[in-house]
Chain A
Amino acid sequence: MSPVETSVSTRGQRHSLALTVGLALVGINVLVAVLTLLWTPYDPLNASGGRLEAPSLLHWLGTDRLGRDLLTQLMIGARTALLVGTGAVAIGAAIGVSLGVLAAFATRLADDVMAATLDILIAFPTLLLAMLVVAASDSASLWTAILALGLAISAIVARLTRILAKRVLRQDYIVASRTSGTSWAGVVLRHVLPNIWPTLSVNFALQFGLAVIAEASLSYLGLGAPPPNASWGRLLQEAQGTVYTAPIGAIAPGIALVALVIGMNLLADGLRDIADPTRGRSR
């Protein structure tokens, strides 16, 4: 058994490393987001320095075109990103998982209709879908952006859930559970959801990242959260014209965005492996 064991243990170590890094990246983001509720280096709305100042002891990341502290904007952007990612995935998961499980149980006709609808929805890029929803609402706000992204995500989640649930429903342990007297609701809660959860959770992390990026894109296009909500996407947009004179304005939010998305993916991978009893050291 040793070759298998070694590969399992190196895998285990690699995954625990992934988990640590993921936890650190996401953790820092959460801490910063919470911190902004209590304290920021400067007032985010007021110009506290000159225009486009270079990084200094007073302004660690310099200032933007209006002379506002960039670090402050970046920190508040972390809060926005977290809110958007979590909110959109929560909405997407709630709607998507419910629809997906229903579709898995539906009669063939209803299932076909649902599958076709989802396929059409998914054919639209998430961003385009979100833009349509935002455009349809009268005022752009952070919440419409979150709702729009959540709806777009729900189609992807529903399709995945449907496929995964169908696969689980074919297993003999589902029949055994039915003949044990378990209700369909019980079957879903006790067998279907736990067995599709590992794959779903990884997808949620992926969607979280995509939602954060999509929000940044919406903001970049001017369809996202209006000021005073600082978002990384808007910071990027504002830095567009000055990217050669003050590159830090684009680099800093860019790095923050990438770090959070990578962190979330690593975290989900690591959590899945811990949650799965069939992996890791057990034989």
Chain B
Amino acid sequence: MLDVQNVSFGYSREQTTLNDVSLSVRRGVSVGLVGESGSGKTTLLRLMLGLIRPTSGTIRFGDEILDPGNGGFMQRYRRAVQPVFQDPYSSLDPRQRVIDIIAEPLRSLRIPGDRTQAVAEALEAVGLTLDAMRRYPHEFSGGQRQRIAIARAIVAGPQIVLADEAVSALDLSTRIRIVELFKTLAERLTLVFVSHDLGVVAALCEEMVILERGRVVESGKTRDILAAPKHAYTQRLLASIPRMPA
């Protein structure tokens, strides 16, 4: 459904952030993009959102090439692919009511239909009550804000949700509930989950791609990689994760 083909990207000429990265997202199969700081995972996500253009290589959506300059295509693409960000405090406009925040994709993509009804359904899907609509972001906790951000991402009925460290800023007890929410969502759409946290990705994604310094070092079924990591970096990453005492 979404194919990244030999994509490279550099913010400046001397330095490449991403180097010949290829991966494909198939319908209904959630993928985790795992990497530490400097791995290029956030740049990859920005490329997949069409916010920046690859220096070389292409990203395909279906049979079409992702081209940020093609307005008609981008309108369809934006409707199909929606993001959720890490920081639930900076991802919601503090001066807008929740209803306006969630309805923004409907308004900007000119999606017909009853907006209030659509927002109500999105709120329900993320487990918030309808009285949230008239309130402002600062009235909510971090976990609730992330639910609002997720509601905005799903309100237009996207096929893919790209989540960027979407649970990393949350407390453990909140994190587990938002992970549960993503799990429910993954039943009806395709989730691409970018994270440094292997545990969260393992809990959520069927497949994963391990990135190290701008390169894909390993990819495949989550289960297989966890059971027998092939690349030295993956092995080190796995060994570094602190575990609960038995």
Interfacial residues, chain A to chain B (CB-CB below 8 A): 171-173, 175-183, 186, 190-191, 194-195, 276-278, 282-283
Residues of B within 8 A of A (CB): 49-51, 74-75, 78-79, 81-83, 85-87, 90-96, 101, 104-105, 108-109, 136, 138-139, 149, 152
Whether B90 and A172, one on each chain, are in contact in the complex, defined by CB atoms closer than 8 angstroms, is yes
Contacts of A173 on B, CB cut-off 8 Å? 90-93, 101
- Cα distance A190–B93 in the bound complex, in angstroms: 9
Give 13 A-B pairs besides A173-B90, A182-B104, A283-B138 with Cβ atoms closer than 8 angstroms. Answer: A171-B90, A172-B90, A175-B85, A179-B78, A179-B81, A190-B93, A190-B96, A190-B104, A195-B94, A277-B95, A277-B136, A278-B138, A282-B136
**Given A176-B149, A191-B93, A278-B138, are A181 and B51 also a contact pair (CB < 8 Å)?**
no
Known: A179-B49, A180-B104. A283 touches B90 (CB 8 A): no
Also in contact, A176 and B91, with CB within 8 A (given A181-B79, A282-B136): yes
Contact flag A182-B108 (CB < 8 Å), given A282-B138, A282-B139 = yes
A146 to B69, CA, bound (A): 43
Determine the distance from Cα of A186 to Cα of B107 in the docked complex, in whole angstroms: 11
Q: How far is the CA of A179 from the CA of B81 in the complex (A)?
A: 8
Inter-chain CA distance A69–B152, complex, in Å, is 65
What number of residue pairs across chains A and B have CB atoms under 8 A from each other?
78
Which of A173, A182, A191, A278 gathers most chain B CB within 10 Å? A173
By beta carbon, the residue of chain A nearest B85 is A172
Query: Cβ of B136: which chain A residues have Cβ within 8 Å of it?
Result: 277-278, 282
Contact: A277 with B138, CB < 8 Å?
A: yes
> Given the complex of chains A and B, what is the CA–CA distance between A110 and B55 in angstroms?
23
4 interchain residue pairs of minimum CB distance: A172-B91, A181-B108, A180-B105, A182-B108
Q: Which residue of B lies closest to A194 (CB)?
A: B95
Q: List 12 A-B contacts (CB under 8 A).
A: A172-B86, A173-B91, A173-B101, A176-B91, A177-B108, A179-B50, A180-B78, A180-B152, A181-B79, A191-B93, A282-B136, A282-B139
CA gap between A282 and B95 in the complex, in Å: 13
| Nearest A-chain residue to B46, judged by Cβ | A175
Q: Measured between C-beta atoms, what is the minimum distance from A81 to chain B in Å?
A: 32
Known A175-B51, A176-B152, A277-B95; judge A186-B85 contact (CB<8 A).
no
Contacts of A186 in B (CB 8 A): 108
> Within the complex, what minimum Cβ distance (angstroms) separates A196 from chain B?
10
Instruction: Tell me the nearest residue of chain A to B86, going by C-beta.
Output: A172
Determine which residue in A171, A172, A179 has the highest number of CB atoms from chain B within 10 A of its CB, and name it. A179
| Contacting pair A178 B90 (CB below 8 A) | no
Which residue of chain A lies nearest to B100 when distances are taken between CB atoms in the complex?
A190
A173 to B138, CA, bound (A): 14
Cα distance A172–B136 when bound, in Å? 17
Query: Could you tell me the distance between the alpha carbons of A178 and B68 in the complex, rounded to whole angstroms?
Result: 11
A181–B85 alpha-carbon span in the complex (Å): 16
List the B side residues contacting A282 at CB < 8 Å: 136, 138-139
Q: Do residues A277 and B79 form an inter-chain contact, with CB atoms below 8 A?
A: no
Smallest CB separation, A178 vs chain B (Å): 7
